[in-house]
Structure 1
Amino acid sequence: MNIQRWLKRLSFASMAGMFLILLMGALVTKTESGRGCGDDWPLCNGKFVPAYTIESLIEYSHRFVVGVVGMILLATTILVVLYSKRKDAKWYVGGAMVFTVLQAILGAMAVVWPQSGPVLALHFGFSLLSFAFTMLLYLVYTKFGEAMHLGDGTRLTKGVRIAIWGILIYSYVVVYLGAYVRHSQSTGGCIGWPLCNGQVIPELSGATGIVFMHRVAAAVLGVAILVLFLVVRMQAHTDSAIYRATRLSLVLIILQILSGGFVTLAMGYDIYLLASMLHALLISCLFGILCYLGITSLHAAEGKVQAYAAPRLP
C-alpha cells in the first residue's frame, strides 16, 4: 500500500468534506432549518430517520455529513500520526480535529439549548478553521507543500510578514461579523448597495449598525489586501508561492465584496439563496488562501530584499 497516496487522498477527502459542511451550515442558516429537528440531538424529532419536511431534511443531512466527514478525518488523523514524516502535517490534522469537535459541540448545544447570535456565529467560525486546517494538511502532500515547509527562496521584510498575519487575523474578525449578521437576523439592516439605506453613513443602531459595521470591515480588508499585494510584488518574484497566493487573495476579496453586494440586491428574489451560498463559498476560499500565505511567509528568508518589478501588460 502506498501510504503517501492514501495520505493525500484522505487529506483531500477531509478538506472537501469540511468545505461541504461549511456550505451546508450556511444553507441551514439561510433556510432557517436549524430547528428542523426540534430539540433532539443526535436524533431528529425523536426519530433516526426524520419526517419528510424540507427543514428536517436539510438539518439532518447536515448532521449526517458532519458525522461522515468526522470519521474520515479520524482515519486521516490516525494515518498522519502513524506514517507522516512531516511534523506540520500532524499540527494541521490535530487542529482540524480540535475545531471539528468544537463546532460539533456548539451545533449540538444550539439544538438542545437556544443560543445567542454571538455564540452561533462562533459555530461558523470554528467550521471555517476546521476547513483551513484540512486545506493546509492537503497542500502538504501537493507541490505547494514544499513552500510551506522550507520556503521558496522569497525574501520578505519583517514588517510584511507581520502584516500578512495581521490581515489573516483581521479576516477572521470580518468572517465572524458576517456570521453574526446572519445569526442575529440583521441581513435586511441595509437596503441597497454600495449605499446603506440610501446613505453613505446610516444611523448606526440595531440591524443597520451591525450590517454597516460588517461592510466597513470588509472594505478595510479589501484595501489592506490590495496594499499587501502592491508591496509583495516588489519583494517577491512573480513565480513564487507567496506572490501567487497574495494575487489570488486580491482576486478573491474583490469577488467577495461584489458577492456581498449581490446578496443585498438579491434580497426578496429567488436567487437570494444562491447569492448567499456564493458569498459563503468565496469567504471560505479567501480565508484558506490567507492561511496558506501566512504559513508560507514564516519560511520567507530574512535579510535585504530584492525588488521585482511586476510584468507589464502588452
Structure 2
Amino acid sequence: MKLLKGLAVLSTFGMLLVLLGGALVTKTGSGMGCGQSWPLCHGQLIPSSINLELIIELSHRLVSGGVGLFVLALAILSWRRVGHIREVKFLSFLAFFFLLAQGLIGAAAVKWGQSDFVLAMHFGISLVSFSAVLLLTLIIFEIDKKFDADSVYIKKDLRIQFYGLISYVLLVVYTGALVRHTNSSMVCMDWPFCYNRSPFDFSSYGIYQWIQMGHRLAAGMVFIWTIYLFIKVLREYKDDSLMRTGWLIAVILMIVQVALGAFVIITYVHLIVALLHALVISLYVGLLSYFLLLSSRSAKKHKD
C-alpha cells in the first residue's frame, strides 16, 4: 500500500501542475510556442530556436506526458489492489480517460486549430481528471482509517443540492475558460459591474463584454449557493466535524476565489494572480467532488 499511496499523492500534485501549466500556456499566449507541430516542437526533437513561449509550451507537454504515465500507473495499480471498492474502477477509468482527452484536444488545437468555444473545454476536462485522481487518493487513504468517512450520511435534499452545484460549477468553469480564450479578461475595466458600454451593445466588442459579465454573474451565484449550503450544514450537521470542516473550507476557497477574480481586473491580469485563480477553483471542485462521492455512498446506504 505504501507504493500505491505514494503514487496517488504524486499523481494528485502532478494533476495540479497540469492544470496550472495549461492555464499558464493560455495566459501567456504560448499555445503555438512549438508551431503547428506535435508532440515535437517545430518538427524537431531538440528545437534549434528557443524562446519563452516554446519553453512554456514544451514544459507543459512534458509535464502532462509524465503525469499521464503516473495516472495510468495509479489507475492500473488501484484497479488491481483496491478494485473491490465500489468506486475505484470507475474513477480509475475516468482519471486516465479525461487526461487523455485533454491531451488529444490540445494536440488537435496545435495541429488544426480549434474555436475558442472548443478550447474552453480543455480546462474543465482536466478538472474532471484531477477530481477523479484526488478521489482515488482519498479512497486509498481511507482504507487504513486515516480518517473516518463511513459514518457520514448526507440527506437526500442536500445530495440533490450537491449534484446541482457541481454541475453548475463546471459550467461556470467553462465560462471562465471562455473569458481567457477569447481574451475578454479586460473588456470590463471595473468590478463587479461593467461601465464600459451599453449592455445592449452586440458588436464584436460587446459580445466579449457579455462573456465577461456572464462569467461574473454565474460565479456570483456559486458564491451565494456555497454560503447557503454552509449555513445549512452548520444547522443540520452539528455533530459531524467532517461536513462542517469541509464546508468551512469550501466557503474560504470561494471567498478567496471571488477576491482573486477582482484582483485579476485590478492588477490587469497579473500572471501570478491569474494562476492562483485557476488553482483555487481546482481545489474547490476537488472538494465538491469528495462530497459528491459521500453523497453517492449515502444514496446507496438509503437504498440498502
Aligned residues with identical type, % of pairs? 38
Structure 1, gaps ≥5 residues long? 304-314
Map 1:1-314 onto structure 2 (within 5 A).
4-50=1-47, 51-84=49-82, 85-143=84-142, 151-154=150-153, 156-197=154-195, 205-267=206-268, 272-300=270-298
Shift of 1:173: 0.6
Shift of 1:65: 0.5
Shift of 1:150: 6.2
Corresponding letter in the other structure for 1:275: V
* Distance (whole Å) between structure 1 residues aligned to residue 193 and residue 214 of structure 2: 13
Q: 1:253 to 1:150 in 2, by over 3 A?
A: closer
Secondary structure of 1:104's counterpart equals helix
1:1-45: CA deviation from partner (whole Å, max 9, x where unpaired): xxx111111111111111000001000000000010000001101
Contact kept? 1:37, 1:60, Cα under 8 Å? yes
Q: 1:169 to 1:147 in 2, by over 3 A?
A: farther
Q: Which moved more, 1:18-27 or 1:239-248?
A: 239-248
Secondary structure of 1:166's counterpart equals helix
Corresponding letter in the other structure for 2:107: A
Contact kept? 2:193, 2:213, Cα under 8 Å? no
Contact kept? 1:168, 1:287, Cα under 8 Å? yes
Q: How many residues align?
A: 296
Contact kept? 2:25, 2:56, Cα under 8 Å? yes
* Distance (whole Å) between structure 2 residues aligned to residue 92 and residue 7 of structure 1: 15
Shift of 1:258: 0.7
Shift of 1:203: 5.1
* Distance (whole Å) between structure 2 residues aligned to residue 178 and residue 266 of structure 1: 17
Shift of 1:300: 3.7
Structure 2, gaps ≥5 residues long? none
RMSD between superposed Cα atoms in Å: 2.3
Please report the TM-score for the alignment, with normalisation by the length of structure 2. Answer: 0.91
* Distance (whole Å) between structure 2 residues aligned to residue 157 and residue 35 of structure 1: 48
Contact kept? 2:95, 2:132, Cα under 8 Å? yes
Q: 1:238 to 1:116 in 2, by over 3 A?
A: farther
* Distance (whole Å) between structure 1 residues aligned to residue 200 and residue 145 of structure 2: 48
Please report the TM-score for the alignment, with normalisation by the length of structure 1. Answer: 0.88
Contact kept? 1:37, 1:59, Cα under 8 Å? yes
1:146-165: CA deviation from partner (whole Å, max 9, x where unpaired): 699963244x4321110111
